[in-house]
Amino acid sequence: MRAVVLAAGKGTRMKSARPKVFHELCGRPMLWWVLRALREARIEEIIVVAAPEMREGMEAFSDTQVVIQQEQLGTGHATRVALEALPPRSRGKVLVTNADMPLVTADIFLAAIEALGNDAMSLVTVSCGPALPSFGRVVRKGARVERIVEVRDATPDELNIEEKNAGIYVADETKLRTALARLKNDNAQHEYYLTDIVELLSKADERINATPHAPMLDVLGVNDRIALAHARTWMNIRLCEQHMRDGVTIIDPVTTYLEPELEIGCDTVIYPNTSIGRLSTIGEGCTIGPNTRLSNARIGNRTEIRESVILDSRLGDDVHVGPFAHVRGESVLENEVRIGNFVELKNARLAKGAKAAHLSYIGDAEIGEEANIGAGTITCNFDGKRKHRTKIGKRALIGSNSSLVAPLEIGDDALTGAGSVVTKNVGDGERVAGNPARPLPKKSP
């Protein structure tokens, strides 16, 4: 089975510089979702018909074949362009689908394939009352499908037909090729409609099977940004429901924004207004949110993240973050680390049990086990030209409002006094204070 995916349309109604099928919902382009459903249906040979300006964007879809439709002359023309680029196969079958239906599922494709049997063509239809008003109407004579009429060519009576064309077709390849060669564009839009194939085949006494599909949302065609938003809402509910089935508590799926390809462990609880994306993984028994954003984050077990942003970073087990922390730039928080209110971490590594509880910027730094970073501590990592690193030893105590001027090393069990401006390395067990910081007298035994 080969599949032709029609993706070259102008998408005029999106009013966008970006090609329509590259518009995203839940973090992936519309086209990505359709291709995923085709793969789930085990269709391996996939040909995407794209417009010339999509050439670059198609590089992200490296495992599909791309055929360029130079001019967008209609869905029938697009299908012909695709088939002309492929060697003909006698007795082959081909599935043709619109690419602007991101909610489509593998089951719908499989049902259409099954419905073809040995006939000329099968197509998926939805009966949805007045909904989906822009869809082509399925005209039957008795039970027999006779033709599809597009809205702009329909009579008022035809417009009342409730059975509509979903935009998914399976056909005998030879018969499809022959019929495509005979398509005309004598219609309201002067386009070569793929849907006219139905009438051509039916007039040639070929059998056409319509497979009615019940949930109309599954075949929602996204032509404008309103439909895109509806599709996103529904896709997000699907993603949330899948994780809930797998043991994740989602307090409010409506305000929990997920992407595909996430891993979330059981008994993790996600509070409202939280978005999780870019291949993040979360362990078991975590508390995430409310008001939290995770992107490319790897989180261990029993970790709590409240009202915070975690980007491109890794957190271990039993870590506590927030409220109002910003962790980014490949930071690593080992087990039992605590990051508190208004703390920003960038490319920082905090070893087991280290703490930075309040109001800090820690960038390009390595913090030892059980070290405690006092409120208001800043790593001054930028000298105006270059970034420098700060290293802080195990159990070190950094006093409130310390400015640590990098490059800098502070030893194990060292201490800096409140308000210190530390410009020189501090040895193990050494205590410094002042601006610039100077060693304090040794504690009398």
Taking the complex as a whole, how short is the minimal distance between the CB of residue 368 and ligand UD1, in angstroms? 56
Strands 304-305 and 287-288: parallel
CA-based nearest residue to 41, from 111, 101, 91? 111
Taking the complex as a whole, how short is the minimal distance between the CB of residue 72 and ligand UD1, in angstroms? 3
Spatial separation of the C-alpha atoms in residues 89 and 176, rounded to whole Å: 12
Burial (CB count <10 Å: 0-12, 13-18, 19+), residue 60: exposed
221 binds Ca ion (CB under 5 A): yes
User: What secondary structure does DSSP assign to 257-280, as a single string?
Assistant: EE-SS-EE-TT-EE-SSEEEETT-
Residue 78 touches which member of ligand UD1, Ca ion, none, C-beta under 5-8 Å by kind = ligand UD1
99 binds ligand UD1 (CB under 6 A): yes
Choose, from 190, 213, 320, 358, the residue flagged as catalytic: 358
- Binding residues for Ca ion, total number by CB under 5 A: 3
Residue 69 touches which member of ligand UD1, Ca ion, none, C-beta under 5-8 Å by kind = ligand UD1
Instruction: Tell me the two tokens of residue 69.
Output: 């439709």
Residues 174-213, mask of contacts with Ca ion (x by CB under 5 A): ----------------------------------------
The answer to whether 358 is a known catalytic residue is yes
49 binds ligand UD1 (CB under 6 A): yes
Residue 408 touches which member of Ca ion, ligand UD1, none, C-beta under 5-8 Å by kind = none
- The one-letter amino acid at 347: N
Cβ 83 vs Cβ 94: under 8 Å: yes
Spatial separation of the C-alpha atoms in residues 259 and 391, rounded to whole Å: 36
Spatial separation of the C-alpha atoms in residues 424 and 406, rounded to whole Å: 9
Spatial separation of the C-alpha atoms in residues 340 and 404, rounded to whole Å: 19
Q: Which is nearer to ligand UD1, 7 or 315 (CB)?
A: 7
Tell me how far apart the terminal alpha carbons of the chain are, to the nearest angstrom. 84
SS3 185: coil
100 binds Ca ion (CB under 5 A): yes
Of the candidates 104, 148, 297, 426, which one interacts with ligand UD1 according to CB under 6 A?
A: 148
Of the candidates 64, 105, 122, 195, which one interacts with ligand UD1 according to CB under 6 A?
A: 195
Taking the complex as a whole, how short is the minimal distance between the CB of residue 75 and Ca ion, in angstroms? 9
Strands (DSSP E) contained in 306-414 are 309-315, 320-321, 325-328, 332-333, 338-350, 355-367, 372-373, 378-380, 390-392, 397-398, 403-405, 408-410
135 binds ligand UD1 (CB under 6 A): yes
Q: Which is nearer to ligand UD1, 49 or 408 (CB)?
A: 49
7 binds ligand UD1 (CB under 6 A): yes
Strands 24-25 and 390-392: unpaired
Of the candidates 178, 209, 223, 301, which one interacts with ligand UD1 according to CB under 6 A?
A: 223
Q: What is the DSSP letter of 387?
A: B
231 binds ligand UD1 (CB under 6 A): no
Of the candidates 78, 180, 240, 405, which one interacts with ligand UD1 according to CB under 6 A?
A: 78
Spatial separation of the C-alpha atoms in residues 169 and 25, rounded to whole Å: 24
Strands 28-29 and 24-25: antiparallel
Q: Which is nearer to Ca ion, 132 or 350 (CB)?
A: 132
Q: Which is nearer to ligand UD1, 79 or 275 (CB)?
A: 79
Q: Which is nearer to ligand UD1, 193 or 361 (CB)?
A: 193
Taking the complex as a whole, how short is the minimal distance between the CB of residue 168 and ligand UD1, in angstroms? 9
9 binds ligand UD1 (CB under 6 A): yes
Instruction: Please identify every residue annotated as catalytic.
Output: 358
Please report, as ranges, the residues that interact with Ca ion according to CB under 5 A.
Answer: 100, 221, 223
Please report, as ranges, the residues that interact with ligand UD1 according to CB under 6 A.
Answer: 6-9, 21, 49, 69, 72-75, 77-78, 98-100, 135-136, 148, 150, 164-167, 193-195, 221, 223
